[in-house]
């Protein structure tokens, strides 16, 4: 399998090169040369196959030129060691993706990439450090910090918008130390992301250090997110559920939703997807017929979705022609007040504690008005409610109990820096 630059299709590289480079030289994202199809036989007969086996089949075509079968098995064993349960919430199901070490859906992608990069460095017998540069709107930073902590010959630099993430999110990226460096940027997530992209086309910088990214722009962060959808489908079919599946995805940088759409193109028969967003609604407006014109980013309670120019939407557009996309994908946006009302409603009626992103995905299903006799709606809970305690406690008027892992973080000393400009960032990176 080769991966090509979306802007320059003739530029094609291996999985290993795409992972190490992060972005193509033309600042574009890498995309697989073709979409492999899953064997129909194992879509229908999975009762005696483990999740790890199914995950192997899905990812093997993308990595087989650069990883051995045993290496991929080992990477998956180190990545897939926590549950992804489906929980009944009224007429819908919540897919809980927050049972990993940092209580967020980013854990699978971050750990998969960390294991791959560590293997590539080991096989190359590198002595020079690789610098992993990542921008986060909240959850990516903690997952990357946890996944890459202590990985040999890897240094991690995390950029996050100053004052625009939750307390727990900030603790999860500022208390690891060792090879992890967290930097607060004066601006929005989009500003952080622009700095990351600028670094990847800076010739002087690229010649001085080995630089890669751990955002979902990196194929090793993006592709493993398919596994959420793969496991969900098989759980439902094994339980005897035969209704058409509609999935509502809380969407910020659109990597998670893009992975779901990719799974559908590989053969998993999801009926359609819903892009559920906060008021940063560039894609929602586009799906409803407007031009793709990002506006200034607005801070919200669902800060992981405070993204006005999502990088991964270009991958979604590459998967589908425009008319096809609008048949399969619809989009809805919601305000903070609607989000708080939804958190309270879900708790009062179903005894289920949702966080802002999951509540927005729930609202997407409600707005879509499913035919529940023929369709099953699933909404994604992408983070533990404690990561957004202020918003959840405001909605529920009660205090949340902190998990032990968060209590342990509070005993550590956070370390962070601040910067304002790309030149400030460049100086930090050149120090490596």
Distances (CA, A) of 146 to 200, 270, 407, 411: 23, 32, 16, 17
* pLDDT value, residue 401: 94
Amino acid 122: pLDDT:
82
- C-alpha distances in angstroms, 23 versus 97, 212, 215? 27, 8, 10
Q: Which pLDDT does position 51 carry in this prediction?
A: 85
Strand partners, 154: 130
Question: How far is C-alpha 108 from the geometric centre of its chain's CA atoms?
Answer: 9
The encoded tokens of residue 51 equal 């999740």
Domain for residue 36, yes or no? no
pLDDT for position 47: 57
Residue 122 belongs to some domain of the structure:
no
- In this prediction, residue 237 carries a pLDDT of 87
Structure tokens at 329: 């994908």
pLDDT of residue 190: 87
The pTM is what? 0.91
Which residues in the chain come in under a pLDDT of 50? none
What is the CA 389 to chain-centroid distance, rounded? 21
Question: Is 106 an annotated catalytic residue?
Answer: yes
Q: Does 163 fall in a domain?
A: no
Range of the domain at 276: 81-104+222-403
Residue 392 lies in a domain: yes
Cα 182 to the chain's mean position, in Å?
Answer: 19
Retrieve residue 247's tokens: 């999935």
Kindly compute the dihedral angle of the four CA atoms of residues 147, 379, 225, 316, in this order, to the nearest 10 degrees.
-130
Which CATH number characterizes residue 271's domain?
Answer: 3.40.50.1100
Task: Give the total number of structural domains in the chain.
Answer: 1
- Say if 74 falls within a structural domain: no
From the list 106, 164, 387, 426, the catalytic residue is 106
N residues, the chain: 432
pLDDT at position 181? 95
pLDDT score recorded for residue 40: 75
The pair of three-digit structure tokens given for residue 237, joined into one six-digit string? 């079919």
The owner of tokens 């035919």 is: 371
Contact in structure between 379 and 105 (CB atoms under 8 Å): no
Residues 347 and 94: beta-carbon distance below 8 Å? no
Whether 147 is covered by a domain: the verdict is no
> Is residue 244 in a domain?
yes
- Per-residue confidence (pLDDT) for residue 128, from 0 to 100: 76
Place of tokens 């854990």: 107
């Amino acid at each position: 399998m080769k991966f090509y630059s979306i802007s320059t299709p003739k530029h094609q590289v291996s999985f290993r090169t795409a992972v190490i480079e992060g972005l193509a030289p033309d600042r574009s994202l890498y995309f697989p040369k073709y979409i492999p199809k899953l064997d129909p036989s194992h879509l229908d007969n999975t009762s005696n196959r483990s999740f790890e086996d199914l995950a192997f089949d899905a990812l093997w075509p993308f990595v087989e030129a650069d990883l051995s079968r045993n290496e991929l098995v080992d990477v998956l064993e180190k990545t897939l060691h926590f549950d992804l349960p489906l929980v009944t919430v009224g007429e819908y199901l919540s897919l809980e993706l927050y049972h990993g070490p940092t209580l967020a859906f980013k854990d699978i992608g971050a750990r998969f990439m960390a294991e791959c990069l560590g293997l590539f460095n080991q096989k190359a017998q590198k002595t020079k450090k690789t610098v992993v540069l990542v921008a986060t709107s909240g959850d990516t930073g903690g997952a990357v910090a946890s996944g890459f902590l202590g990985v040999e010959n890897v240094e991690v630099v995390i950029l996050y918008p100053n004052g625009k993430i939750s307390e727990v999110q900030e603790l999860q990226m500022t208390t690891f130390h060792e090879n992890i460096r967290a930097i607060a940027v004066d601006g929005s997530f989009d500003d952080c992301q622009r700095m990351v992209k600028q670094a990847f086309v800076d010739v002087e910088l690229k010649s001085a250090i080995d630089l890669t990214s751990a955002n979902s722009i990196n194929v090793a962060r993006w592709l493993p997110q398919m596994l959420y959808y793969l496991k969900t489908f098989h759980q439902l079919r094994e339980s005897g559920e035969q209704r058409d599946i509609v999935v509502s995805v809380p969407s910020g940088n659109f990597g998670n939703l893009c992975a779901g759409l990719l799974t559908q193109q590989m053969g998993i028969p999801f009926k359609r997807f819903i892009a559920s967003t906060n008021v940063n609604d560039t894609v929602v407006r586009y799906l409803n017929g407007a031009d793709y014109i990002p506006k200034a980013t607005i801070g919200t309670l669902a800060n992981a979705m405070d993204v006005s120019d999502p990088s991964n939407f270009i991958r979604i557009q590459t998967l589908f022609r425009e008319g096809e996309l609008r048949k399969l994908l619809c989009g809805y946006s919601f305000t903070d007040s609607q989000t708080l009302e939804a958190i309270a409603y879900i708790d009062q009626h179903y005894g289920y504690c949702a966080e802002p992103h999951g509540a927005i995905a729930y609202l997407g299903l409600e707005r879509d008005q499913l035919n529940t006799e023929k369709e099953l709606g699933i909404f994604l809970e992408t983070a533990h409610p404690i990561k957004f305690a202020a918003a959840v406690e405001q909605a529920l008027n009660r205090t949340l109990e902190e998990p032990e892992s968060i209590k342990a973080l509070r005993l550590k000393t956070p370390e962070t820096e601040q910067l304002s400009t790309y030149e400030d960032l460049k100086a930090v990176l050149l120090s490596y």
